Structure 1
Amino acid sequence: MKHALFAVLGAIAVLTAAPIAIAVPAYAVDDIEGADAPDLTAVKAKIEAKDYKGALADLRDLAQDTQQADVYNLLGFTLRKTGDYQTSLTYYTKALELKPDHKAAHEYLGELYVETGDMAKANEQLASLQKLCPAGCEELSDLKQAIDTKVTK
């Protein structure tokens, strides 16, 4: 009798959780891991459309409401794309202070260093990603490609 009760309760749990799983929004960056991450779908769409001003406005609003590594990482990315390297560095640093193993922040920070010609620091970020992704990951591959492209130019 006890096993039948657990089976029924388990089935109810699965059936009631299914609608919740469907309602979960898609997130914006490669490395969204926190359950506290806001829905960044609209921001990602603006970034993909190269509407960096629109994305920055949305991200700054989000950053006022929450201290969240994914928001800071995207702020850094968007600012880097507008050429504001110094402020971009500040936001990548904040993202990594909140979440030191944030793979996308390491990748994007490394790409910032590649773009500004600081290859030693770019390689430090590559080394961090090699530790975080011993079997490899997209962020590691992307940063390695950015470094290799810069070195061969």
Structure 2
Amino acid sequence: MIRAIAAATVFGALVAGATLYSKGPPEWWTKTLFGSLDRRAEPAIAPEAWPICTTMPSLASDADWAQLDPDFKAGKKALAAADWKGAIAALELAALHDPDNADIQNYIGYAYRRQRQLGPAIGHYQQALILNPRHRSAHEHLGEAYLVLGEPAKAEQLVGALETLCLIPCEEVDDLKRAIAAYGKLAAR
């Protein structure tokens, strides 16, 4: 009987501790120990940050996103129709709703690059990488933009970064390597 009570007490303490741990420390405790430091501002680790490289799409498909944000849906449709200005306009609105979304920044960068506006394109790719340093498509697209600018060394650096991110062969590495090889053939002429 005493063992059952002790086990129930330990189990209850573990459950209570797990609940408190998941909610974070109370605000008064954080301020008392760390001054005005706000621990809630720390970003959570997103699934994209996991050290796994695969060509499998993220858990939330684009169709799910489109249902949640009509601006994202309109931007994706505009990208598919090669309406780069329309895509930029719609995706900029989607970025206002979700400013921490690296995918949206990557898509905006792609639309700018297709318009040959490399400055804004590179800026959006870099923003995507600030939001998610492991964003493989942003690495690939930024490398391709550097090739357009005639900077193959920077593109090669991004191949190295992608190879570090990808534990198994991934499409982005292969695509960027093919683009660098094509650039090399054109430059050799």
| The two structures share one fold, judged by TM-score above 0.5 | yes
Q: Which runs of 5+ in 1 are unaligned?
A: 1-29
Q: Deviations over 1:16-56 (max 9, x none)?
A: xxxxxxxxxxxxxx786475x84345433321221111111
TM-score (norm 1): 0.73
How far apart are the structure 2 equivalents of 1:91 and 1:32?
Answer: 21
TM-score (norm 2): 0.60
Larger Rg: 2
Q: Which runs of 5+ in 2 are unaligned?
A: 1-54, 67-71
How far apart are the structure 2 equivalents of 1:87 and 1:31?
Answer: 28
Structure 1 SS opposite 2:95? helix
Higher relative contact order (CA 8 A, sep 6+): 2
* Corresponding residue number in structure 2 for 1:63: 95
Q: Deviations over 1:92-112 (max 9, x none)?
A: 111000100000000000010
Q: Deviations over 1:108-139 (max 9, x none)?
A: 00010011111111111111111112321111
Structure 2 SS opposite 1:93? helix
Number of positions where the alignment pairs a residue of Structure 1 with one of Structure 2? 124
Q: Which amino acid aligns with 2:87?
A: A
* Corresponding residue number in structure 1 for 2:165: 132
Question: Percent sequence identity over matched residues?
Answer: 36
In the TM superposition, what are the counterparts of 1:4-153 in structure 2 within 5 Å? 33=58, 38-39=65-66, 40-67=72-99, 68-153=101-186
